[in-house]
Amino acid sequence: MKLKKGDYAIITAVLAASLTLSLIFTGSSASATTAVVMQDNQVIKKIDLSALKSPVTFSVGGDYNDLIIAEPGRIRFQEANCPDQVCVQTGWLTRPGQIAVCLPNKLSIRIEGNSSSGDQVDIIVK
Amino acid sequence: MRRIIYNSILISLALTLSLVEKWFPLNLLVPLPGIKLGLANVVTLFALFYLGFQSALMITVLRCVLGSIFYGGIIALSLSLSGAILALLVMALLKRGYGRWFSVIGISIGGAAAHNIGQVAMASAIMGSSSVFAYLIVLLLVAVITGVLTGTVASALFEKLEKTGTLREKIA
């Protein structure tokens, strides 16, 4: 396996793109988090996960039905009747920048940081 | 005639490979949509190097269409088409620098990354939201690894073919 100079350039470019995106999306690494639930590019629900005291579940309709459960500090797709189940497999979201998407239902959950202080670079590796 | 036969063999090979790689559920390791080994990319690379761009394009498009008929739907089709075609275009472009600047592995990494970018761009168009681009953070990291793996397989295949040395003349 002989890598050429250009190969390293490609690898560097791909890693740099990944790092740039993580800078854009991760934002603050604050422990206080809000979950933003969007459908069709409209915010349909905002939940302050850090203020949550007990689990909350709610379902979202559309082309398919998704059941979302929010607990103190975390949120996930609990159940969905969409064909690919990618949203459910994504599991819990806990940190700012993390996202779970149900593409068939055009539904997404994204975690945002509440406080604007302490912007730190943080690559999400699940 | 020979070209048609090669194309159809490669399409079925690509379909088989994408079926086989479902037995290695990489997305259980990294639970993100679009995570896969991309073994079918070995076929695309082979077609690109030994049959030319036109054949590679035909194989890629037909593989996606047939694949989505077997398992998937219209969303799966648009996602796989956008990813596979962008990957092919990028690899065809990088191939111009093959030997001088890039090896098969580098071209394969470029293709894997382009595949993910194409898919996420399409997903973003379907969702009407750019937030899915956050997926690329991890997808691109994985693309480097899977690109090296599939590129190594393709590289080994090409070396064997060069050694036996008959194929290039036969098809072209």
The verdict on A123 touching B (C-beta cutoff 8 Å) is yes
pLDDT value, residue A23: 83
E strand map for A1-126: 33-39, 42-48, 56-60, 66-71, 74-80, 99-102, 107-113
The residue with greater pLDDT, B32 or A57, is A57
Chain B, nearest residue to A38 by Cα: B129
Contact B92, B48 (CB under 8 A): yes
- pLDDT at B112 (0 to 100): 95
Task: Look at residue B30 and tell me whether its pLDDT is greater than 60.
Answer: yes
Of B126, B137, B143, the CB nearest to A21: B137
The residue among B75, B23, B18, B114 whose CA lies nearest residue A86 is B75
Q: What is the 3-state secondary structure (H, E, C) of chain B?
A: CHHHHHHHHHHHHHHHHHHHHHHCCHHHHCCCCCCCCCCHHHHHHHHHHHCCHHHHHHHHHHHHHHHHHHCCCHHHHHHHHHHHHHHHHHHHHHHCCECCCECHHHHHHHHHHHHHHHHHHHHHHHHCCHHHHHHHHHHHHHHHHHHHHHHHHHHHHHHHHHHHCCHHHHHC
Tokens 């090979």: give the residue: B13
Q: What is the model's pTM?
A: 0.77
- Chain B CB contacts of A108 under 8 Å are 127, 129, 131-132
Q: Out of A41-45, A113-117, B16-20, B150-154, which region has the weakest mean confidence (pLDDT)?
A: A113-117
Mean pLDDT of A56-83: 90
* CB nearest B131 (choices: A1, A108, A126): A108
- When CB atoms are compared, the residue of B76, B103, B113 closest to A2 is B103
pLDDT tens string B34-89: 678 888 899 999 999 988 999 999 999 999 998 888 777 788 888 889 999 999 99
Burial of B83 from C-beta contacts in 10 A (0-12 / 13-18 / 19+):
buried
As a whole number of angstroms, the distance between CA B57 and CA B86 comes to 11
- The alpha carbon of residue A122 is apart from the nearest alpha carbon of chain B, in Å, by 11
Q: Residue A126 in contact with residue B139, Cβ under 8 Å?
A: no
Mark yes or no for CB contact B113/A14 under 8 Å.
yes
Q: Tell me the nearest-neighbour CA distance from B70 into chain A, angstroms.
A: 14
Look at residue B96 in the predicted model and tell me its pLDDT.
Answer: 93
Residue A113's φ and ψ, nearest 5 degrees, are -80, 145
Nearest CA in chain A to B152: A1
pLDDT of A122 > 60? The answer is no
Quote the ipTM score.
Answer: 0.84
Question: How big is chain B by its Cα radius of gyration, in Å?
Answer: 16
Cross-strand partners of A93: A75
| Closest CA of chain B from A21, distance in Å | 6
pLDDT (average), residues A73-87:
87
Does residue A42 sit at the B interface (CB-CB below 8 Å)?
Answer: no
Following CA atoms B120, B124, B125, B129 in sequence, which dihedral angle do they give, to the nearest 10 degrees?
A: -170
Cα B94 → chain centroid: 14
Percent with pLDDT over 90 in chain A: 25
Contacts of B76 in chain A (CB under 8 A): 84
